[in-house]
Amino acid sequence: MKKINKIVLAYSGGLDTSVILSYLKEKYQAEVVTYTANLGQGESLTSVEEKAKRTGASKVYVEDVREEFSSNYVLPALQAGALYEGRYPLATALARPLITRKLIKVAEKEKAEAIAHGCSGKGNDQVRFEVTAKALNPEIMILAPVREWELKSREEEIEYARKHNIPVEVTEKAPYSIDRNLWGVSIECGILENPWEEPPSDAYQLTKSPEEAPDKPTYIEIEFKGGVPTGLDGESYKLVDLIEKLNRIGGENGVGRIDLIENRLVGIKSREIYEAPAAVILHLAHRELERLILDKDTLHFKELVSQRYSELVYDGLWESPLRKALDAFVRETQKELSGTVRIKLFKGSCEVVGRKSPYSLYDEKLATYTKEDIFDQKASKGFIHIWGLPLRTVAKARKKI
Ligand code: ARG
């Protein structure tokens, strides 16, 4: 085995990555540098630095990447309409390529030969980390201890931590596996593994249940400029702040819960619940503006792009040439996507109730059934005659046989 001197570990400060830190040091006799990204997971990251040091990290990186995450990953996915299997806004999947890019950067700066992650061998995230890492640096070595080590349960990990003097808070056994960032929360394991069971209320992290949400609707107006959400109720917002604000307003109204049986890349069907109020609201508002502004062919073609784009992101192919090419298409469609969408949030539902734009293709004079109508109804006769020609031709030809 090639000697490894330095490893950069994607570190969350939780039990798994703390044990991994110590395990890597022992197994490879290597220096371990940790990297932690603030992606809006809502936990205080000040203790992470201290924890990593106490667990034996030779150097600790903690970085606020929320801005970069929202402009370079979340925004393109929103504009592409990327919802995996029609529903999942891809919060976890979008964060992985960014974290990986950062790990590679730190590895190059620190002259580390390897990076390490704490993903299991059954999920999508291992694929996303590793495919992205090799796309950015084909020479880098990747270590995935959870796939190899003998620690089979949380109890065994706690035992390992005790033996190795790793500081772990002795908490109740966490009933769920949770991954969170500003674009959403992903929750699985425990009772949720039974797809017939309704998710218990303690599974949800940031949304109220529709039953507990206010009995009066909340109306909001979201403004877009060139496909970018820039305002809420007449006030300008930076994207990060807008997302955080919509998570609060949506969550308060019970909006953004998604209970999904999904197809993992490794062939397993799994059940995950998501909470993504801002993502649900923004996808709805953005799509609505496209309905108003884009011509029919572009709008319909973009649906195909959305589906493919969501698969690329989910499947760990963020760095692929195809994703970048699709981005170029999407960007072209967003040039005139400016306007305002009015949304009603009420006890878990989220509905568009109004839309307007200077670029709107909606022409009331064409659509109306009043005397303002300018549509030439007589011209429809000739149009229908020719539109139906292929079907009449078939009918006539078949009669001859
Ligand atoms: N199923 C989601 C995905 O593959 C989330 C995976 C992580 N979920 C979790 N609860 N840790 O993107």
Structural domains of the chain, count: 3
Ligand 1 atom index nearest CA of 124:
4
Same domain, 60 and 46: yes
What is the domain range of residue 291? Answer: 179-356
Same domain, 294 and 388: no
CB atoms within 10 A of CB 363: 10
Contact criterion met (CB below 8 Å) for 247 and 278: yes
Name the β-bridge partners of 275: 185, 257
Mean pLDDT estimate for the chain = 96
Active site (annotated) includes residue 360: no
Query: Which of the 8 DSSP states describes residue 237?
Result: -
151 is in an annotated binding site: no
- Rounded Cα distance between 3 and 349, Å, is 56
Assess whether the C-beta atom of 299 lies below 6 angstroms from ligand 1.
Answer: no
Same domain, 162 and 194: no
**Catalytic one among 16, 70, 180, 355?**
16
Judged against a pLDDT cut of 70, whether residue 384 lies above it is answered with yes
Same domain, 249 and 373: no
Q: What is the pLDDT of residue 169?
A: 74
Same domain, 144 and 256: no
Longest alpha-carbon distance in the chain: 89
Same domain, 198 and 298: yes
| CATH code for the domain of 302 | 3.90.1260.10
| CATH code for the domain of 16 | 3.40.50.620
Same domain, 195 and 63: no
Active site (annotated) includes residue 125: yes
Q: For residue 118, how far is its CA from the centre of ligand 1 (angstroms)? A: 13
Judged against a pLDDT cut of 90, whether residue 401 lies above it is answered with no
- Rounded Cα distance between 334 and 252, Å, is 30
Judged against a pLDDT cut of 90, whether residue 2 lies above it is answered with no
**Catalytic one among 125, 180, 287, 323?**
125
Ligand 1 atom 1: residue of nearest CA: 272
Compute the average pLDDT of residues 191-203: 97
pLDDT digits (tens, 9 = 90+) for 274-288: 999 999 999 999 999
Same domain, 154 and 191: no
Active site (annotated) includes residue 16: yes
Q: For residue 238, how far is its CA from the centre of ligand 1 (angstroms)? A: 27
Assess whether the C-beta atom of 186 lies below 6 angstroms from ligand 1.
Answer: yes
Assess whether the C-beta atom of 92 lies below 6 angstroms from ligand 1.
Answer: yes
Same domain, 269 and 232: yes
Single pTM value for the model: 0.97
177 is in an annotated binding site: yes
Contact criterion met (CB below 8 Å) for 145 and 289: no
Active site (annotated) includes residue 215: no
Same domain, 126 and 234: no
Same domain, 197 and 290: yes
Q: For residue 202, how far is its CA from the centre of ligand 1 (angstroms)? A: 18
Contact criterion met (CB below 8 Å) for 244 and 182: yes
pLDDT digits (tens, 9 = 90+) for 107-145: 999 999 999 999 999 999 999 999 999 999 999 999 999
137 is in an annotated binding site: no
Assess whether the C-beta atom of 79 lies below 6 angstroms from ligand 1.
Answer: no
Q: 74 lies in a domain?
A: no
Judged against a pLDDT cut of 80, whether residue 257 lies above it is answered with yes
Tell me how far CA of residue 53 lies from CA of 47, 99, 135, 141, 310, in angstroms: 10, 20, 30, 23, 38
Name the β-bridge partners of 272: 260
18 is in an annotated binding site: yes
Same domain, 134 and 236: no
198 is in an annotated binding site: no
